[in-house]
Amino acid sequence: MIEINNLHFTYHQKSENPKKALNGISLSIKEGEFVTIIGQNGSGKTTLAKHLNVILSPTKGTVLIDGINTQEEEVWEIRKKVGMVFQNPDNQIICSTVRSDIAFGPENLGIDRVEIEKRVNESLRLLELNDFQNYPPYMLSEGLKQKVAIASVLAMETKYIIFDEPTSMLDPSGKKEVFELIINLRKKRDVTIIYITHIMKEVLKSDRVIVMSEGKVVLDNSPNKIFSKLEILRSLALDVPIIPDIVYRLRKRGISIPQQIITTQELINCLTQ
């Protein structure tokens, strides 16, 4: 379980221009959940994510990973549990071949050679990257680079994986492929996923949605409940997916259907009953 208690964070705290980014966040994430985090640019999503694998440390408050305070443990001990995939794959590709890049994370965790080979092979297989294993990552398309970044995190076998807008730099087919791969991970691995996105279609697939604004959590509920609060989402300048939007408009015209409908199939079922 991840437990965040009254987390505050200010960038450049001791400078003349401190910038408050997190403003008292408390939440917990249970094992096995698939949580998405949405919110306008600058609402603090990345800053929050960076606290979970100790890229940043709280100005105030605590972050506990499986009961361990991230401030009281070696950074690598926490990173054995929490992996992170960033928006831009170029930021996390380090080595000269795909294979060595995937091995880099487990090597840093001090895992033995035989086990590393096993994990690298397994990650290559899961992400269908076998044909590219000896390629230099910089020669690959953005979508393939992002798959390498995901394979690298998988090879670390962390229990929690944070994805920070992993599809935002990809073309439409890359977006779809990488997203499907991520949601399928749960079928293959016992993994807890924290998925930051601004793509509302992606949000619909999660168990739980956390909406952030100005460094705070403003909504935390199932996708159905979240998307029935269209006014709040609009006031936060967030997109609303197409089906909840249609439902909202139909209801405004006096057609009686529940606002919690979020998928095409649910809408069809309801209208043809």
Closer to Mg ion at the Cβ: 52 or 155? Answer: 52
Sheet holding 19-29, edge to edge: 19-29, 2-11, 60-65, 68-69
Return the residue matching tokens 């409908």: 261
Among positions 1, 6, 19, 32, the unique one binding ligand ADP when judged by CB under 6 A:
19
Using CB under 6 A as the criterion, what x/- string covers residues 35-74 for binding ligand ADP? ----x-xxxxxxx---------------------------
* Among Mg ion, ligand ADP, none, residue 136 binds (CB under 5-8 Å by kind): none
* Among Mg ion, ligand ADP, none, residue 187 binds (CB under 5-8 Å by kind): none
Taking the CA atoms of residue 195, residue 198, residue 200 and residue 204 in that order, the dihedral angle to the nearest 10 degrees is 10
3-state secondary structure of 221: strand
Among positions 43, 46, 70, 213, the unique one binding Mg ion when judged by CB under 5 A:
46
* Among Mg ion, ligand ADP, none, residue 89 binds (CB under 5-8 Å by kind): none
CB-side neighbour CA atoms (13 Å) of 186:
17
Told to check if 11 binds ligand ADP by CB under 6 A, we report yes
Closer to ligand ADP at the Cβ: 215 or 241? Answer: 215
| Residue 62, beta-bridge partner list | 5
Cβ partners under 8 Å of residue 15, min gap 6: none
Among positions 2, 4, 7, 21, the unique one binding ligand ADP when judged by CB under 6 A:
21
* Among ligand ADP, Mg ion, none, residue 44 binds (CB under 5-8 Å by kind): ligand ADP
- CB atoms closer than 10 angstroms to residue 241: 18
| Residue 84, beta-bridge partner list | 162
AA letter at 249: R
- Interface with Mg ion by CB under 5 A: which range of 38-46, 103-111, 234-242, 255-263? 38-46
Residues of span 247-266 touching ligand ADP by CB under 6 A: none
Closer to ligand ADP at the Cβ: 35 or 262? Answer: 35
CB of 60 vs ligand ADP, minimal distance in Å: 16
φ, ψ (nearest 5 deg) of residue 243: -65, -50
CB of 44 vs ligand ADP, minimal distance in Å: 4
Cβ partners under 8 Å of residue 156, min gap 6: 79, 80, 83, 105, 106, 109
Closest by CA to 160, choosing from 122, 141, 178, 186, is: 186
Closer to ligand ADP at the Cβ: 21 or 154? Answer: 21
Contacts to ligand ADP by CB under 6 A:
11-12, 19, 21, 39, 41-47
